[in-house]
Structure 1
Amino acid sequence: MSQAKVDRYKQEKYNRKNNKKKGSAKKILSYAIVTLVGVAFVVYIGYSIAVATGMYTPPVATTHVELSQSELESLRSKLIQNGDKNVKGDTSVDTTTASSETTSEKATAEESTTVEETTAEETTAQ
């Protein structure tokens, strides 16, 4: 044998115990990682099934802000200055009535515009 081969053999023999420990540690670590990935996959599938079937409904994140009376008045005055017609004396705005009022106002404005256009056309045609 050449001297290089002999030196390499001696080095391998010297590190044999450490290499076995490293190999077994890597093996245990790989088993742990595979187990964690498998558990995560099973939990995800279970969660998806539970949400899809309605057995579990995730909580909805909501925020609730308490404003003082002076802050409410300040906000109300700013809305009035910006031209918000739905601001009433109370601090709550009913969006269903506001949208129906807005829709009826738009319809009335469109009807009056249409009537004015038709009368203008009739006058020009005669």
Structure 2
Amino acid sequence: MSSIIYDMDKFLAELIKASDYFSEIENDEKEVDFNYVKRLISSIDSKRNELKSKYPKELLDKNFEKVKIIAKQISQSIDNVIKQREAEKKSVALELEKINNKKKIATYIR
């Protein structure tokens, strides 16, 4: 039983690292490093697959409550980052459209 707790703690540590990283991105403390994200996801996937192959599903389900909470936090952070980036993209697009319209008006006036 203690080995599953140890393995789950290692898995939780990876998830917490991911959660912290996405929280920093969400709060504009960091820019997205996609290579780091890929390595992080790969590491989490390999640990998850290792757990699935090592322990029965019922035993994992009993110990997965913290994992579910952290996974939900990560998902929310990613969703928030995507929404922020989309809002920034729309804002920049509107600003570019205004600039282009001003240029068109300036050429009409001439």
TM-score between the two structures when normalised by the length of structure 2:
0.42
Q: Which has the larger share of helix?
A: 2
Which structure has the bigger radius of gyration? 1
TM-score between the two structures when normalised by the length of structure 1:
0.38
